[in-house]
Amino acid sequence: MNDNILNTSVADESYGNDAITVLKGLEPVRKRPGMYIGSTSERGLHHLVYEIVDNSIDEALAGHCTEITVILHPDGSASVRDNGRGIPNGLKETDDGSMRPTPEVIFSVLHAGGKFGGKGYKVSGGLHGVGSSVVNGLSEWFVYENSRDGDCFTQRFERGKVASDYTLLRKTDETGLYVRFKPDSEIFTQTTTFDWKTLLRRLREQAFLNAGVRIIFRDERCLNEQNPEVTEEVLHYEGGIVEYVRYLNEVNHNTPLIPNVIYMRNENTSTFTYASVALTYTNSYEPVVYSFANNISTPDGGTHEIGFRNAIVRVINERARALGLLKADDKNLTYNDVFEGLTAVISVGLQDAEFEGQTKGRLGNESMKVFVNRLVSDKFSEYLQEHPEDAKIIINKATTAQKARAAAEKAREAVRVSPLSKGSTLPGKLADCQEKRAELTELYLVEGDSAGGSAKDGRDSRFQAILPLRGKVLNVEKVAPHKVYGNLSLVPIIQAIGCGIGDEFDISKLRYGKIIIMADADVDGSHIRILLLTFFYRHMRRLLEEGHIYLAQPPLYRVYRSSGKGESYFAFTDEERDFYIKQMGGGNNIRADRYKGLGEMNADELFDTTMDPATRTIQRVDVTDAQICSETLSLLMGTDVPSRKKFIEENARFAQNLDV
């Protein structure tokens, strides 16, 4: 438990029952769930589990819990158990003046638990860190078992309302809390099904950030005779973020250039501030940098990352000059040069963390710039002086990157005046639209020339542009950046979108407000989607961050009479298909053909089903989706067909309704 000094020091003096700020019942949570968990989509659903687990993690940080077990149950509920102290059994006055058991108050009163009450139980860092009562309010039912002082008490709630008194369940020598809840389908209207991978990712992250905590994650949902085994992962990392860096290199298939992961840490116990950094260098061209504040991911960076970045740039330049690897006339290495191949995890803790930006993914506290900068300036510089061999390897990597960048600049010039574009900067294959205002326009990236043809004929050319894609899209996960400019599959896309890529990316030059990937609903289509998303993630990330990238959703079936007469319907799911078959009376003369590809639809059908803004559905892709693509892409590379298939099957999100 090396990575938090906050709770251990704040906690003990303020853990009396009075630390709870009692505000109100849970109706506000049910009325406006988004205010408390961000959204009621799949993301909000998973947030429920994080909220409960966070409480166990806090108990671990306080030094009282070593093991957390998370289980997904066949009835759609999830449970979390910890071996902490359990909640004190006293009584607590509520706002109506009655006395209730402390655990009941904690679980059934909004903002109870002290998170917002100043120096209470935990240091609030959470975007929606409002705790267990919110989860209770959004659950069809919610049960907890509180083991403490020899007794295990239990209580049940339904839709946030007390459904049973605080009752003794059994005697026990154990201590800790157990919470089990079923998300309310009245609230989570899109889905109430937990995704194993999404939860695993977050639980693993928490296990890395809280070194030593053992998190056991089990999926008991598909237990039956055919499948008697439960899926279980034990997440336990004594090495904390140092192990996290090693793990990231493994999953990204990046080979370390130096043997060590460099670890640095500083803490200020009087301001309750700490920073921990682990880093190493690999043969990759891309940096992999993950940052956190109060154990919350900050994918959009912020002050801690800025402090880190400035320190790395300065230290490496200083060392390079000192070792004579940069001569007097040589230009300084830039941030891009020194970040190539860097794998780093930055984890800071502070009071009153401010999370900024639309998705609250960026740390705003100015103090963290200096705090992290000073740590990394001192410790990294010390490391490089003590390890001259490693210093040479790292500096060499950066100077090579500097040269490649100069070469890329030349290649980029060549693209700007490329013979492909014949004087104009637009690719020849692009069928542009009339409208010029990006807010109003759409660019379809279409797999294959024949579907491209239908899309061109069917589109509304006032605002819809079509760019057919030829052949396979380059996998940018493992190529040097300057190669991207020479690539025939990507150059037309870069030109059509208009913003450039990488360091010269300029969103104000964006030519289309929506960029819609339209590919078949089969394995090849999935592959193209993944490659394109990886490309956007690596080279045009802002487009993802600002929600410009979408996936088209073509229909899977056409349901019609074999006579060809009468009405016909397009179905986007198996259920829809069956519904139409039934509606048309069923029987032998009803056909339901599966579309093998977009190319099978004629122009009108393609427009009506997939492109018409009035009737289509398109799926917006966010940064996390694309990040998962890029991480997983390395696993797909090479000739490992079984694992590729397995991946695609498991990622139904990007590869709905396959033909495998």
Enumerate binding residues for ligand 28F (CB under 6 A). 15, 17, 19-20, 52, 55-56, 59, 80, 82, 84-85, 87-88, 102, 113-114, 121, 132, 177, 179
Active site residue 522: yes
Q: Which is nearer to ligand 28F, 102 or 630 (CB)?
A: 102
CB of 195 vs ligand 28F, minimal distance in Å: 20
Tokens 């709905």 label which residue?
Answer: 656
Q: Is the dihedral of CA 456, 459, 460, 463 positive or negative?
A: negative
Q: Which is nearer to ligand 28F, 87 or 606 (CB)?
A: 87
Instruction: Give the tokens for residue 368.
Output: 């963290």
Q: How deeply is 212 buried, as exposed, middle or buried, from its count of CB atoms within 10 A (0-12, 13-18, 19+)? A: middle
Please choose, from the candidates 519, 525, 500, 527, the residue with its C-alpha nearest in 3D space to the C-alpha of residue 511. Answer: 500
Minimal CB distance residue for ligand 28F: 55
Tokens 């637009």 label which residue?
Answer: 426
CB of 31 vs ligand 28F, minimal distance in Å: 24
Catalytic option among 82, 337, 522, 545:
522
d(CA 53, CA 59): 10
Strand residue runs (E) in 98-257 = 99-101, 139-148, 151-158, 161-162, 167-171, 176-183, 214-219, 231-236
Q: How deeply is 631 buried, as exposed, middle or buried, from its count of CB atoms within 10 A (0-12, 13-18, 19+)? A: middle
Q: Which is nearer to ligand 28F, 14 or 475 (CB)?
A: 14
CB of 52 vs ligand 28F, minimal distance in Å: 5
d(CA 133, CA 572): 38
Angle of the 388-416 helix axis to the 303-322 helix axis, nearest 10: 110
CB of 98 vs ligand 28F, minimal distance in Å: 17
Q: Which is nearer to ligand 28F, 80 or 438 (CB)?
A: 80
CB of 84 vs ligand 28F, minimal distance in Å: 4
Q: Are 594 and 556 in contact (CB under 8 A)?
A: yes
Q: Which is nearer to ligand 28F, 56 or 298 (CB)?
A: 56
Q: How deeply is 358 buried, as exposed, middle or buried, from its count of CB atoms within 10 A (0-12, 13-18, 19+)? A: exposed
Count Cβ atoms below 10 Å from residue 116 Cβ, excluding itself: 15
Q: Are 646 and 523 in contact (CB under 8 A)?
A: no
CB of 54 vs ligand 28F, minimal distance in Å: 8
CB of 136 vs ligand 28F, minimal distance in Å: 11
Q: Which is nearer to ligand 28F, 10 or 491 (CB)?
A: 10
CB of 39 vs ligand 28F, minimal distance in Å: 23
Helix (H, G, I), strand (E, B) or coil at 289: strand
d(CA 641, CA 422): 40
Catalytic option among 3, 82, 305, 520:
520
Residue 521: HSE in the Cβ half-sphere, 13 Å Cα cutoff: 18
Residue 525: HSE in the Cβ half-sphere, 13 Å Cα cutoff: 29
Q: Which is nearer to ligand 28F, 88 or 513 (CB)?
A: 88
Q: Which is nearer to ligand 28F, 55 or 154 (CB)?
A: 55
Q: Which is nearer to ligand 28F, 145 or 340 (CB)?
A: 145
Instruction: Give the tokens for residue 573.
Output: 């799911």
Catalytic option among 447, 477, 545, 605:
447
Q: Which is nearer to ligand 28F, 61 or 446 (CB)?
A: 61
Q: Is the dihedral of CA 102, 35, 294, 72 positive or negative?
A: positive
CB of 4 vs ligand 28F, minimal distance in Å: 15
Helix (H, G, I), strand (E, B) or coil at 159: coil
Helix (H, G, I), strand (E, B) or coil at 214: strand
Residue 27: C-alpha distances to residues 33, 50, 105, 264, 410 (Å): 10, 21, 15, 46, 61
In one-letter notation, the amino acid at residue 465 is A
CB of 11 vs ligand 28F, minimal distance in Å: 7
Please choose, from the candidates 141, 133, 81, the residue with its C-alpha nearest in 3D space to the C-alpha of residue 107. Answer: 133
* Residue 343 CB contacts under 8 Å (≥ 6 apart), including other chains: 245, 248, 249, 252, 254, 279, 280, 281, 282, 284, 287, 288, 289
Q: Are 465 and 497 in contact (CB under 8 A)?
A: no
d(CA 636, CA 647): 8
Catalytic option among 158, 195, 205, 524:
524
Q: Which is nearer to ligand 28F, 92 or 548 (CB)?
A: 92
Residue 195 is classified by DSSP as P
d(CA 113, CA 133): 9
Strand residue runs (E) in 366-435 = none
Rg from Cα positions in the chain: 28
CB of 341 vs ligand 28F, minimal distance in Å: 40
Alpha helices in 233-282 (DSSP H): 241-251
Task: Give the length of the chain.
Answer: 660
Active site residue 520: yes
CB of 150 vs ligand 28F, minimal distance in Å: 15
Q: Which is nearer to ligand 28F, 84 or 307 (CB)?
A: 84
Give catalytic residues, as residue numbers: 447, 520, 522, 524
